């Protein structure tokens, strides 16, 4: 008889909030100009905020099931952090780079 290993299942309770920065991806290279950072929130989050390069947190807009942070991307390496408006949940910094159109290597 084969012995099977069971692994514990990790789930997030329905009332527990979680945040995920969907875009930009880690270390992604994006174009300068308008960029909409996409954040997924679960657990009935009332409001999400984002911060670029450890600056002030600003409110995101909610549309089509996601939270969006509209930003005028400037060249260079950057990081973004998202949090709930009550600061109860905060993501790790997501690092990415803004490069001119021809430099996405």
pLDDT in tens, the chain (105 residues): 444 444 443 344 456 889 999 999 999 999 999 999 999 999 877 799 999 999 999 999 999 999 999 999 999 999 999 999 988 999 999 999 999 866 555
Task: Write down all domains in the chain, each with its CATH number in brackets.
Answer: 18-86 (2.60.40.10)
- Entry pTM: 0.79
pLDDT of residue 6: 43
pLDDT of residue 43: 85
CA nearest to 97, candidates 79, 82, 83 = 79
């Amino acid at each position: 008889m084969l012995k099977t290993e069971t692994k514990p299942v990790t789930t997030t309770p329905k009332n527990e909030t979680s945040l995920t920065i969907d875009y930009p991806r880690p270390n992604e290279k994006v174009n300068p100009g308008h960029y909409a950072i996409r954040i997924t929130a679960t657990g009935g989050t009332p409001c999400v905020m984002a911060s670029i390069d450890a600056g002030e947190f600003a409110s995101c807009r909610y549309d089509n099931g996601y939270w969006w942070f509209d930003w005028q991307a400037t060249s260079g390496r950057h990081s973004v952090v998202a949090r709930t408006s009550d600061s109860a949940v905060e993501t790790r910094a997501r690092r990415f780079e803004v490069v001119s159109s021809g430099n996405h290597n």
